[in-house]
Chain A
Amino acid sequence: MKNRLEIHPELVTEMLTRFIKEETEKVGIQKVVFGLSGGIDSALVAFLAVRSLGPERVHAVMMPYKTSSPSSLADAQACVDALGIESSVIDITPQIDAYFERFSDASPLRRGNKMARERMSILYDFSAQLNALVLGTSNKTELLLGYGTQHGDLASGINPIGDLYKTQVRQLARYLGVPKQIIEKPPSADLWENQTDEKELGFTYEDVDRLLILLVDRRYTKEELRNEGFSEEFIDTVIRRITRNQYKRRIPLIAKVSNRTIGIDFRYPRDWGV
């Protein structure tokens, strides 16, 4: 069967590297910074950023917590070494533990979200320190499913991979030479031990991407999706996730009072005056 998700890696790389360079330099910034987890998404962003700007303008921050898998840090370090970029390691254990001393019964979800937001806060501090733009590392699959923390890993200045499905991220990562062990390991947010995305979501990225490209990009109806062999239950689960998480993809709602309201009828491009 024809793979609808396949992309032309050379062409897409060309678009994304130019995007990073243009949208960074346009606002008068020379460097980029991002969290490097040891996973495939941030590794791909690292490789794209280096192709775009050269290694000396790219700074990766590794932010492990005490329960983070040691192999994650090693994989992130392998990227840093392969690319020759500057990097920092900030162990977030002290601040996370200090906070949860007061809430020892906090759920894994609260802890995971807090870690994601702590990392965001560190990245924005680095952004100010290095005068660097924060690159987002969320892919299209995660963004659609809402599988990310609002104001945490979902926060960024610009996101080069947000219109690529996870399977497309894998294809591009292979093309750009991301270390093999990073491409092949099971995706994980690594927020608690033995967490994997696919276990938590209840389906594989491969399956959900095949569904998403038909549902979102090609506007297939539920009936047409069933005819493609997807189960009713799977289709409903995915649609429910997309709908329920719409709020994460938007700026906060503002109550309209005046004639011209930000986000409603005060509408300028973000590249306004740059």
Chain B
Amino acid sequence: MKSIKAVIGQIYPTLGNVERNVSMHLEKIGEAVREQADLIVFPELGLTGYQLRDMAFEIAMTLSDEPVRRLVEASKEIDIVFSFVEESREHIFYITAVYASQGKILHVHRKVYLPTYGMFEEMRHFGRGDRFRAFETRFGRTGLLICEDAWHPSAPFLLSQDGAEMLIVIASGPARGASAEPMIGSERSWYSMLGTYAQFFTSFILFANRVGFEDGVTFFGRSALFDPFGRVQAQAKALEPDMLTVHIENKRIRRARYMMPLLRDENLDVTIRELSRIRESRLSADWLDMTNRWDSSEE
């Protein structure tokens, strides 16, 4: 991986106002270009806002619609990661992130894990993506995850095995779980999780979270860069818009991977063999029996 300078655009998107959000993206892109950054990353659904509900139908875009094209065009000067509601040719609606570079779409990731519990209702409105793929950028191999994707360790594991040296995690992370701690509960969970991943996968993790309010929900921000040792290398403000400039240095990946050769020692064959076995056993009658059975001592 080449060493690069990246900017995290921790923005406050306006719910349902694509035009205003596109302008805001372009403005931030301009700032990053003036800073001579190589990459700018925006949060999940930055072009549309998060709690869309029935608006998803009205606000969805295809990859060739004008707002997307304008941002892809802007990637002639700087690589850009941005996100919106994508409508596929089959009219399935996805939460999508695009990695655009040199005026082209380099990679499209459709959110795989759609939280539908508690305050979340994504599966009511959106289709599930079906793949995690690392991809080649002009700086090195990268992987994209959208919010809940990151709460499933298999997702960063797969991207790591697929050669990613940097994971870009974009989110609309709500603030919840107030306690006596000087940190919002959800922020604590995110940081412990991403720090652990960065360490386990000896990779950089770029976390781009949004801020602002939608229907009473606060988004906490605190975008960050985690280095391949699992440390927080840089951190944006909580609760307000911020532009965080970070330096992703190849030498840190190299050092981490030599000192902690976890990637080298990972045994993909063992994992695949055991996963295949587990998959088979789940299809068997024994599994059904096992998941039906209640141990009377536990009742």
Contact surface of A with B, Cβ cutoff 8 Å: 3, 6-8, 10-12, 14-15, 18-19, 22-23, 26, 158, 266-274
Complex Cα gap A55–B55 (Å): 37
Q: Nearest residue in A to B218 (C-beta to C-beta)?
A: A15
Q: Flag if A272 contacts B15 (CB, 8 Å).
A: yes
Nearest CB of B to A238, in Å: 22
Chain B interface main SS type? loop
**B205-235, CB < 8 A from A:** 212-216, 218
Chain A interface main SS type? loop
Q: Flag if B213 contacts A274 (CB, 8 Å).
A: no
What's the count of A-B pairs with C-beta under 8 Å? 62
Q: Nearest residue in B to A16 (C-beta to C-beta)?
A: B218
Chain B residues whose CB sits within 8 angstroms of the CB of A268 once the complex forms: 53-55
Q: Nearest residue in B to A12 (C-beta to C-beta)?
A: B178
Interface residues on B, range: 20 to 34
Q: A15-B239, A269-B53 are in contact. Are A274 and B15 (CB under 8 A)?
A: yes
Of B25-33, B72-80, B91-99, B179-187, the one contacting chain A is B179-187
Q: Nearest residue in B to A14 (C-beta to C-beta)?
A: B239
Q: Flag if A269 contacts B180 (CB, 8 Å).
A: no
Nearest CB of B to A48, in Å: 14
Q: A6-B180, A11-B178 are in contact. Are A269 and B15 (CB under 8 A)?
A: yes
Q: Flag if A271 contacts B15 (CB, 8 Å).
A: yes
Q: Flag if B214 contacts A269 (CB, 8 Å).
A: yes
Contact surface of B with A, Cβ cutoff 8 Å: 15-17, 51-55, 175, 178-184, 212-216, 218, 238-240
11 pairs, A vs B, C-beta closer than 8 Å: A3-B180, A8-B182, A8-B183, A14-B238, A22-B213, A23-B216, A267-B53, A269-B214, A269-B215, A270-B215, A272-B15
Chain B residues whose CB sits within 8 angstroms of the CB of A3 once the complex forms: 180
Q: Nearest residue in A to B17 (C-beta to C-beta)?
A: A273
Complex Cα gap A93–B162 (Å): 75
Q: Flag if B179 contacts A7 (CB, 8 Å).
A: yes
Chain B residues whose CB sits within 8 angstroms of the CB of A8 once the complex forms: 178-183
Beyond A8-B179, A273-B17, list 7 extra A-B contacts (CB 8 Å). Answer: A8-B181, A23-B216, A158-B216, A269-B53, A269-B215, A271-B214, A272-B16
Nearest CB of B to A219, in Å: 11
Q: Nearest residue in B to A22 (C-beta to C-beta)?
A: B213
Chain B residues whose CB sits within 8 angstroms of the CB of A19 once the complex forms: 213, 216, 218
Chain A residues whose CB sits within 8 angstroms of the CB of B212 once the complex forms: 22
Complex Cα gap A23–B212 (Å): 10
Chain B residues whose CB sits within 8 angstroms of the CB of A23 once the complex forms: 213, 216
Q: Flag if A7 contacts B178 (CB, 8 Å).
A: yes
Q: Flag if A10 contacts B182 (CB, 8 Å).
A: yes
Chain B residues whose CB sits within 8 angstroms of the CB of A14 once the complex forms: 238-239
Nearest CB of B to A251, in Å: 14
Nearest CB of A to B266, in Å: 37
Q: Flag if A6 contacts B179 (CB, 8 Å).
A: yes
Complex Cα gap A274–B214 (Å): 10
Chain A residues whose CB sits within 8 angstroms of the CB of B214 once the complex forms: 269, 271
Nearest CB of B to A258, in Å: 15
Complex Cα gap A271–B215 (Å): 6
Q: A7-B180, A8-B178, A11-B182 are in contact. Are A272 and B55 (CB under 8 A)?
A: yes
Q: Flag if A15 contacts B55 (CB, 8 Å).
A: no
Q: A18-B213, A18-B239, A19-B216 are in contact. Are A273 and B179 (CB under 8 A)?
A: no
Complex Cα gap A8–B17 (Å): 34
Q: Name the residue among B17, B214, B216, B239 with the largest chain A CB count within 10 angstroms.
A: B216
Q: Nearest residue in B to A270 (C-beta to C-beta)?
A: B215
Complex Cα gap A3–B54 (Å): 40
